[in-house]
Structure 1
Amino acid sequence: MEFIVDSLEDTMNLGKQLGNIVHPGDIICLTGDLGTGKTHFTKGIAEGLEISSPITSPTFTIVNEYEGRLKLYHFDVYRVNDPDEIEAIGFDEYIFSDAVSIIEWANYIEDLIPKEHIWVEIKKVPELGINFRKIIIQYYGDRYSYIKELK
């Protein structure tokens, strides 16, 4: 599925739609260059999960935890130099729980991502304008077929 957005608000609204329909234990992988809107997409998901705490990128802590309708684990693996580093924090225990896990820069640890997951790629579309983004959402595994509900 592909979506074109032209503002942070639209990016967050698409994330919120996803947050409204995710299930316990879902894994959402986010990729895209710096400044494409991965954290704003995450803020939208958190809003859909009814999380009232401010969402910040866990660049230096690797994972932040939030409580809402479902628990959220928000990972940022941009600074992870070795997959063993992410395993050392108990990565499997986080992602194989009843919480929703969002992993920014998931392409850095692709070998650790379970086969069933949602993959979201956010790309700048400069030919349309400075704020335009293409958000490509793919899912792997039957459990995620509900993604077809996004509009």
Structure 2
Amino acid sequence: MTMQQLRLTMPTPEATQAFAATLAPRLAAGDVILLSGGIGAGKTHFARSLIQSLQSPPEDVPSPTFTLVQVYDTPKGEVWHADLYRLTNPDECIELGLVDAFETAICLIEWPDKLEDLTPSDALHLEMIDANKDDSREVSCHWTSPKWDQILDGAQP
């Protein structure tokens, strides 16, 4: 499979929120989005925006930094939001139920490097890059599964 790439500029947090809200209704069970970038790069903001756009009415979406995984019931099915920063071994991802969730839920994974060999091959990778200009961010997207071509088509801000 050929790797596809897309680079987006998010000039404001609201632009990131709009991108997440546009992407959310296009997702289905089994879709995995891997969110990477430094601390404060906007990973949780993106995940929170995506989850809240699927909720009616939107609820509080706390960061899963300490709980590791938060699960939300939405009209599109379960959405799993995981923060793997504190994990020390990929086996802990199995214990959390993430591998099963990759097939049955929409999954948003922060710090996906902790998955190592468990990383789904058909995931969408979003790398958030602080552009050092006010609140703007660059988002580098890459994927190999053709399903993301259709999901991302027209979803850019």
TM-score, normalised with respect to structure 2: 0.87
In structure 2, give the amino acid aligned to 1:109.
L
Deviations 1:74-100 (Å, cap 9, x if unpaired)? 010010011111212222111111x20
Partner of 1:120: 126
Superposition misfits of 4+ residues, deviation over 3 angstroms = none
Q: What is the deviation of 1:17?
A: 1.1
Partner of 1:77: 84
CA RMSD of aligned residues (A): 1.5
Cα separation, 2, equivalents of 1:24 and 1:96: 7
| Larger RCO, structures 1/2 (Cα 8 Å, 6+ apart) | 2
Partner of 1:47: 52
Among the aligned pairs, what percent are the same residue?
27
Q: Is the 8 A contact 1:18 1:45 kept in 2?
A: yes
Q: What is the deviation of 1:7?
A: 1.8
Q: Is the 8 A contact 1:116 1:141 kept in 2?
A: yes
Correspondent of 2:74 among 51, 65, 68: 68
Please list every run of 5 or more consecutive structure 2 residues that lacks an aligned counterpart in the other structure.
1-5
Partner of 1:107: 113
Please list every run of 5 or more consecutive structure 1 residues that lacks an aligned counterpart in the other structure.
none
Partner of 2:144: 140
